Chain A
Amino acid sequence: MNSKKNGLAPISALKYLFKKPHTVRYPKEDLEVFSIKGISPNYRGFHTNDLEKCIGCGNCARVCPASAIEMVEYDDVEPANKFANTMRPTIDYGRCCFCGQCVDVCPTSSLQMSRDFIHSFHPDSSLSPEEEPESVVKDFIWRPDQKHADNPGYLRPEGDLFGKVIDFDRNEPRKEAPSERKLSFAKFVHTYSKEEAEKEATRCLGCGACVEACPNQLHIPQYIAAISKGDPEESLAWIYKRNPLPLICGEVCTHQCEEACVVGIQGEPLAIKWLKAYSSENVLKYQDVVEEKKMEPNGKKLVAVGAGPASLSFGYYAKLLGYDVTIYEAEDKPGGAMMWGIPKYRLPKEELMKDINAILDLGIKLKTNVKIGKDISFDKLMKDYDAVFVGTGNSKPMTLRIVGEDLPGVMQGLTFMKLVNEEKTPELKGKRVVVVGGGNVAMDVARSSVRLGADVTVVYRRRIVDMPAALEEIEEAQEEGVKFVETGVPLQIYGEKRTEEFEYAIASLVPDPKGGRPRPVVNDKSPHMKIKADYVVAAIGQHPNLDFLPEDMQKKIGFDGKHVPVDDYGRTNIDGLFFGGDLSNRRQDIISAIGAGLRAAKGVDLYLASQK
C-alpha cells in the first residue's frame, strides 16, 4: 500500500459527492443482495410450527438455551399420531435468542424459522406499572403456527437425514447370517459391545415420548442416559424401578417404545430393547442394584398363582413393600410362557433364569408342581393369605375349527413350542410344516421348525403388513427361508392316518368400516389352494384357563372366557383377589404383564392399608 503522507490525498474522497449513495432506504427500499428480495433466504426469524405435524415431544423446549420455549397443552389441535400429545411449543420472544437450536433438534421438522422478524410492542400507557410487565410479556409470548409459513427461513429439510444434530441412523446389533443361524438354537443376536451401546445410546434425545408408549412406563430416557454415561449399573437401577425382568425384556420385548421414538419419525428409532439387554447383560450381579431397596417385612402374606412375568413382577414389588410372597407354579420350572413358549434362540434359558433367580433370591417362596384347584383349593388360598394374585395367563389354545383338525400331525402353537423347549419334538428334518397364524407364536413355531430342518409355510388370513408379529421377526423368518402365504383362510386338512394336505382359500380383503385391520372375506369365487403338509401347527391365539376358580367366583369377577375385567390396580369385584397379566391385559405381552404385576402390588398395598 501507499502510505506516504499526503495532505491532498483525502480530497479524492470528495468524488462521492457526485455518486449515488449506497444506502438502503428502508422502508422505501429493501435489501437486494440475495437471490430473493429482502433478507437472506435462510434467516433465523420468528418460528413457524406445523401444528398438525408437531408431536409435542418437547425437545425444542429442552434444548433452548434461553429457556424460552414452554410446552403448553392446547384444545384446538389433534395429536399427530397415537403416541403424540396435544402439547405445542409456545415461545417467549422475551427470551428467544434466535439461535435455531430448536429447529435443528425438531425430529419432525415441524418447527422451522421464517424470514419475518419485525415485531414491536408499545405498552398501553393507561396500565399501571404493576400490570405493565405482564402485558409486555404476554405480547411477546405466542404459539408459533403457520402464520409466517409462506416466508420460510432457517429450517431442516424433511429429507435431510444427515440432520442438523439428530443422528437418524440406527446401529443394529450384530446378527449371525441367516444361513448360519438357522442351523442351531443358539442365540444369534450379539448384544452391543460397550462402544456400540454408548454410540446407540447417544442418539437418544431424552424426550420421553417412549415412556408413554411403554405399557409399563419404564424410565427409558434415564436408563439410556446412564448407558451413554458408561454406567450400566445405574441404567439397570433405573430399569429395576419398574421392571424386574430386564434381560428378558431386553431380548424379547415387543418394544412399542421404539414405535413411539421420535427419532423414528424421519429416521430409524433407537434400539431401546437392545440397550436394555446391554445394560442387564453387563451387570453380572443384579443384587447390587436390587437389594438396597428392600423394605422391612410387615408380616402380611400374599400369594401369586402362576410363575409367569406378572406374578414374578407382583412378587418382586410386593416383596419390596415388605410382604411375604409365595408363588405357586403348576409346572416344574418358573417362568410360565417365557419358559415354555419362547424358543431358546430368542431367549436362552440361562438368561431367563438369571432374571428369575434375582427375584427369587429376595426371599420369595416358589412352590412348583402345585396345581391350584387340584392340589390346593382356591378357597383355601383366599383364606390363608391376605391377598391373592392370579397371573396364570392364557393357557388354553384356540383351535382352527375346521375339518381334519383332529388328525395326528395337527398341533397347537404353544404345545408345539413346549415340545421344542423340552427338545421332545418329532423328527422334522425334511418335513413340511404349515403354520397357521401371524402372531409372535406363529413366528416362533415357524422359525423353530426351520431350525429343526423342516420346510415351513406360514398361512395367514390377512397380508404380511397386518401381522401382529413384530416386523423384525417376520423379516428374520423370511431371511431364514420361511414361506409366507397371505390372505390364506384355512379350509380343511386332508389325510388318511395323519396329515397330508392342507387346503386354504385366498380371501379378498374388505376394509373395516371401523378403521381397524381389513377383514378377510371368503366367497364362492375365492380360489382354493392345496399344499402338502406333514404337520399343521395352529398358532392363532390362546384363551385363559380359569378352571381352578370356582364357578360362582368366575361369574362374580365377570370372566367372559377371554378376559377378566380389572381396574388400574388389578382389583376385581372380590376383595383381596387381584388379577394381572394376559388374563386381564388388553395387550398380551411380557411388558404389559410386568406392568400389571407392579400395579397389582401397589393395589394390594392400598387394599391392605384400607383393611386396617
Chain B
Amino acid sequence: MTILLKLIQGIGVGALSIAVGLLFIGIGRKITARIQRRYGPPPIQNFFDIFKLLSKRSISHGFAFDLGLIAGFSALLAAVVFLPMGQINIFPHNSSLIMIIYLMTMAYLGMAMGVSSSGNPNATIGIARALTMMMGYEVPFAAVIFSVYIFSRTGSLANIVAAQSGGFLNWNLVRLPFGFVAAEIALQGMLGEKPFDMTIAPSEIASGPMVEMGGKYLGFGMLQHSIGLFIETGIMVDLFLGGASNIWIFIAKQFVLYFAALMINAIMPRFRIEEGVSFMWKFPLLLGVVQALIVVL
C-alpha cells in the first residue's frame, strides 16, 4: 500500500517538476526577451513545444540511443523523488544529497551513451564538453557540499533543511555566504546557462548533444532539462535558502534562483570550454575551499 502511495506520489512529483520546470523556462524566455527589447513567446509556449515534439514522428539512431535517453530520463525522475520540497517529502529519511547528485550524473552519462551512438561529431563534441563541464562545476560544488555537510553534520537534505529552520538568519545563505556564491556559480553551470552553455552552443557545434535528436527524443531531452532545472534549483533552495514550509514558497524560492541565473544568462556570452572549466576551478572552487576551511576551523 505504501509502495503504491509512494509510487503515486512519485509520479505526482515528477509531473509537478516537469510542469514547474517548463513554466520556469517559459517565463525565463519571456524575461530574456524583455532584456532583448522584445515581447517573447507566451509563458506556456514550452508546453506547446513539448506536446508537439512528443507528437512528432522521430528517427531513432539505434538501441543504445534510445536506451541512453530513457536511462537518463528515468534517472532524473528518480532523483526528483528524493528531493524534499516544502511539505512534500516522499522519502523523508532517504533524501541523501549524494544520491541525488549521483542520479543526476547518471542522467548525463545516459545521455552521453545515447548521443554518442548517433555518430554525429557535433554530438560527440557536445557530450564531451558536457562531461568536461560537469567536472568543472562538480568540483566547487563538492567543496560547497562538503562545507555544508560539516556545518550541518548531516548528509540528508531534509535534515539540512530542518537545520536551517527558524528564520532568515538561520539560512545557510547567511551562515555560509562564500559557499552560496560558489554554489550559485556552479548552479549556473549545472543549468547550462550562459556563460556555461558550451554543451549546446548552437553557433559552434549546432546544439551539441541534441544535434541528432528529433521529435520525441528532443521532447524527452527538454523534459529532462526541465526536471534538471527543478532539481538543481531545488537542491540550492534546500541547501541555502532554508527549504520551504510549503510547495508554493519552495517554487517561489526556486524561481528567485532561476531568475538570477537568467539575468547572468542574458548579458553574458559563452566561455570556451577550457575557460569555463578553469573559471570554475579558480573562483568558485577557491570560495568553496575558503568556506570549507572556515567551517572546519
Contact = CB atoms under 8 A, between A and B. Distances in A.
Direct contact between A and B judged by beta carbons closer than 8 A: yes
B35 A17 contact: yes
Given A13-B267, A16-B37, 12 more contacts: A10-B267, A10-B268, A14-B266, A16-B34, A16-B35, A17-B31, A17-B34, A19-B37, A21-B39, A22-B37, A22-B38, A23-B37
B36 interface: yes
B263 interface: yes
B39 A25 contact: yes
B36 A16 contact: yes
A22 B33 CA distance: 11
Contacts of A19: 37
Interface string A6-45: 0000110110110101110100000000000000000000
Nearest to A20: B37
A56 B268 CA distance: 61
A272 B263 CA distance: 75
B39 A14 contact: no
A73 to B, nearest CB: 51
Interface of B: 31, 33-39, 263, 266-268
B155 to A, nearest CB: 35
A73 B38 CA distance: 51
B37 A21 contact: yes
Nearest to B269: A10
B210 to A, nearest CB: 27
Report the 6 A-B pairs with minimum CB-CB distance, sorted nearest first.
Answer: A10-B267, A23-B38, A21-B38, A21-B37, A13-B267, A17-B34
B51 to A, nearest CB: 24
A292 B36 CA distance: 77
Dominant SS at the B interface?
A: helix
18 contacts: A10-B267, A10-B268, A13-B35, A13-B266, A13-B267, A14-B35, A14-B266, A14-B267, A16-B34, A16-B35, A17-B31, A19-B37, A21-B34, A21-B37, A21-B38, A21-B39, A22-B38, A23-B38
B271 to A, nearest CB: 13
A17 B28 CA distance: 12
Nearest to A15: B35
Contacts of A25: 39
Nearest to B40: A21
Contacts of B33: 21
B38 A14 contact: no
Contacts of B266: 13-14
Contacts of B268: 10
Contact of A23 (B31, B35, B39): B39
A17 B30 CA distance: 10
Contacts of A17: 31, 34-35
Contacts of B37: 16, 19, 21-23
Contacts of A10: 267-268
A11 B267 contact: yes
A160 to B, nearest CB: 41
A312 B215 CA distance: 86
A25 to B, nearest CB: 7
Nearest to A11: B267
Nearest to A10: B267
A256 to B, nearest CB: 64
A3 B57 CA distance: 50
Interface string A575-603: 00000000000000000000000000000
Nearest to A25: B39
B175 to A, nearest CB: 27
B4 to A, nearest CB: 46
Interface in A463-513: none
Nearest to A13: B267
B45 to A, nearest CB: 16
Contacts of B35: 13-14, 16-17
A11 B37 CA distance: 15
B193 to A, nearest CB: 14
Nearest to A23: B38
A523 to B, nearest CB: 84
Interface in A536-591: none
